[in-house]
A = this chain, B = another copy of it.
Amino acid sequence: MATIYDVAHIAGVSAKTVSRVMNGDALVSDKTRAAVQAAMAQLAYIPSSAARTMRSSKSGLVGLITGAISDAPSGIEAVGLPEIFIVQGIQRVLAANGITLLISDTGGNAAKVPDLFRTLQEHRAEGIIYVADHHMNIALPPLANVKHLVLANCRDEAGTPAVIPDDEYGQYTLVSGLIERGHRRIGFLTLPENLVAYDLRLNGYQRALRDAGIPFDADLVRRGDSHGAPGESALVSSSIDQLLALESPPTVLCCGNDRLAVAVYGILRSKGVSVPEQMSVAGFDDYRVISEILFPALTTVDLPYGRIGEKAAELLIEMMRGSPDLAASPRHTVQGEAVWRDSVIVRDPKVATLKSNRRNG
């Protein structure tokens, strides 16, 4: 590979002048610049970032760690789907700032994390972003010499700057929208209780009811997703049975995520309940492969993974540039809006519910 000296020799100038041409550092005469550029083109010269890094101690690299330091029960395979969108968002921002991304994956083995950090530090990464595959609490091992660290899609108790989705807001928006569309009895099929999003979503659900003056009815909240564990389908099925058996059953089911919504579609149909005519369904995630393809198309909440990535990268770059006032608000949320599709119908609040219909029919 050609070096700066080769270029200098061909152009008949000193290496330093070549350096100046590359960096636009100082005044270089037009003639010299042209000669240098011609020489660079002729040799297909590409500067060595290693040499540059040594001298300037700026690597132009940011490290990324993904994988599970999970607080979820073991044995649950993380699907890892959102991560690619987060990574793409990060990439987008970093590339625009001339930064290259070093990536490493724990492969689900939390014990590897210190090694991964070390590797990133060997390459003198100027900042590190840790990405989780779902909104969770994490506890990173003690890390010496890691100056700039941002968490994406997760958070810790140590006050590390974090970018997380606003689950409470998303659920609030969805449920408010359902109420606007005439729904008064809103079933809620929950996420596993140990998830961070469990509480947040439930809060959003309750706040939306409260703001609309609808009393909270605990009977409408049932266990839904259990990480795809065996027996989940039966669990969801029985949850739905309980909801349908209520004196005043729900007119819509909010599912903890889109995956669960798919299961609910099947279960409702197998029970002879049509979607959305007899029961509206809403998901959470706007996991498009599911939500757009499902029939009828699924109303859900957009979880803006790309934005989470972008914001995490923007935050990191600010930190690297030494902006202050960041420690002030360690947690940054990104809001996603409800996406209205065919699985939710508009109804007249005064018309009786499913159960009553049946009774009458």
Binding site for B on A (CB under 8 A): 1, 44, 46-51, 53-54, 57, 59, 61, 64, 79-81, 83-85, 87-88, 91-92, 95, 100-105, 107, 118-124, 144-145, 228, 233, 259-260, 262-263, 265-267, 269-270, 287-290, 292-296
The copy count of this chain in the complex is: 2
Task: A10 to B64: give the CA distance in the assembly, Å.
Answer: 33
In the bound complex, do residue B102 and residue A100 qualify as a contact, i.e. CB atoms below 8 Å apart? yes
Closest 7 CB pairs of A and B: A266-B295, A50-B53, A84-B84, A50-B50, A91-B105, A49-B122, A44-B144
Q: A46-B122, A50-B54, A123-B49 are in contact. Are A91 and B103 (CB under 8 A)?
A: yes
Give min CB distance, A228 to chain B, whole Å.
Answer: 6
- Report the Cα distance A57→B124, complex, angstroms: 17
**Nearest-Cβ distance from residue A86 to partner chain B, whole angstroms:** 10
Q: Does B100 lie within 8 Å of A101, measured CB to CB?
A: no
User: Does the CB pair B290–A290 fall under 8 Å?
Assistant: yes
Contact B92 A105 (CB under 8 A): yes
Task: State A102–B44 Cα separation when bound (angstroms).
Answer: 22
**Chain B residues within an 8 Å CB radius of A102:** 61, 100-103
- Tell me which of B46, B64, B267, B269 contacts A269 (CB under 8 A): B269
With A95-B104, A100-B104, A259-B289 in contact, do A118 and B46 touch (Cβ < 8 Å)? yes
Select from chain B the residue with minimum beta-carbon distance to A53: B50
Contacting pair B84 A145 (CB below 8 A)? no
A260: B residues at CB distance < 8 A = 293
- A280 CB, min distance to chain B CBs, angstroms: 16
Shortest beta-carbon distance from A348 to chain B in Å? 25
CB-nearest residue of chain B to A123: B49
Known: A50-B53, A266-B295, A289-B289. A107 touches B91 (CB 8 A): yes
24 pairs, CB–CB < 8 Å, chain A vs chain B = A1-B57, A48-B122, A50-B51, A50-B123, A51-B54, A61-B102, A80-B85, A81-B84, A81-B289, A87-B103, A88-B107, A95-B105, A95-B107, A100-B104, A101-B102, A233-B295, A260-B293, A262-B294, A263-B293, A263-B294, A263-B295, A266-B296, A287-B289, A289-B289
